[in-house]
Amino acid sequence: MDLKGRNFLTLKDFTPEEITYLVDLAAELKEKKKNGELVNHYVGKNVALIFEKTSTRTRCSFEVAAHDMGMGTTYLDSTGSQIGKKESIADTARVLGRMFDGIEYRGFGQEIVEELAKHAGVPVWNGLTNEYHPTQMLATLLTIREHLGKWKGIKLVYMGDARYNMGNSLMIACAKMGMEFTACTAKEYFPSSGLVEQCQEYAKASGGSITLTEDVMSGTKDADVIYTDVWVSMGEPEEVWAERIKVLSPYQVNKKVMENAKETAIFTHCLPAFHDLKTKIGQEVFDKFGMKELEVTDEVFESAQSVVFDEAENRMHTIKAVMAATLGY
């Protein structure tokens, strides 16, 4: 499998075999790291990390993975660089492409990361856009395989805003890998019909399926994986909280949902999560709306079924695999 020179912008661009290769490579690199075996033949290479939105996991994963592999990193955010204000994405891409061997971008519209990739001349990696979060998907897939042993036939239920990056990306990943994807949410938060149709095609080829339902009990029945995400994403206005809380509260992941899933079911979340009052936004939402836990209860988040920190760790191993493969392993 040769992915050298490829961009990593959305899993739509990758075959199931290529996705499997990237997850396998991540598992191999994880094992090597645990055994203290260095994979650092990228000395002399450098990567640029552009973050127009904030991050803990994605930034640290790119930095640690790059450093493990012997590479240098430069972090750029929208306040400390010329990006957007004084310099277009196309010009930025052509400058960074002359200095760096790869570029990560986290920000707003997918068209921005595509523009960057078009002009950079080096691999560009999507670290999250409004539409997609493909590096998160590799971590999800690795975590599912570690806990449940396979992808084919696994029923993954996504609860929450399924029109945004996480819902879209999970639907694509599941459809490609032969999984049974269910978006269990209010109709207005279903993924777009265009993307659903495209994923139905992937599912036909892989033996997977796509279900959209508003019914929590039938939607989560016998699920293998329950997944959720914040109800309000980065970059969205504060005013949408009231509507999201009203419409998405019935889709909170709680004990009743987990009991309706399979006994062996796992719970996961891309993180960060609002499951208690230990965050500034969590406290503000509580003061205004009186809810102390939002998309997931603290009980489920802290339960033995929760694999959220395994998935968080796997961000680093999978991002390392993406960089290694596209820079040439």
> Is 165 a residue that touches ligand NVA (CB under 6 A)?
yes
* Strand-pair partners of 209: 180
- The two tokens of residue 15 are 């075959």
Active site residue 147: no
Binding mask 134-163 for ligand CP (x = CB under 6 A): --x---------------------------
* Strand-pair partners of 50: 76, 105
> Is 128 a residue that touches ligand CP (CB under 6 A)?
yes
User: How many whole angstroms separate alpha carbon 221 and alpha carbon 174?
Assistant: 18
Strand order in the sheet with 124-126: 72-77, 46-51, 102-106, 124-126
> Is 39 a residue that touches ligand CP (CB under 6 A)?
no
> Is 132 a residue that touches ligand NVA (CB under 6 A)?
no
Q: Of 229, 293, 295, 311, which lies in the binding site for ligand NVA, with binding defined by CB under 6 A?
A: 229
In the complex with ligand NVA, the residue whose CB is nearer, 233 or 254, is 233
User: How many whole angstroms separate alpha carbon 319 and alpha carbon 296?
Assistant: 26
Active site residue 270: yes
User: Could you report how far apart the first and last alpha carbons of the chain are, in Å?
Assistant: 10
Active site residue 163: no
Active site residue 136: yes
Q: Among all residues, whose Cβ is closest to ligand NVA? A: 233
* Strand-pair partners of 182: 157, 211
Among ligand NVA, ligand CP, none, what binds residue 164 when CB lies within 5 to 8 Å by partner kind?
A: ligand NVA
CB of 244 to ligand CP, least distance (A): 18
User: How many whole angstroms separate alpha carbon 97 and alpha carbon 115?
Assistant: 13
Binding residues for ligand CP restricted to 49-68, rule: CB under 6 A: 55-58
- The two tokens of residue 147 are 């806990």
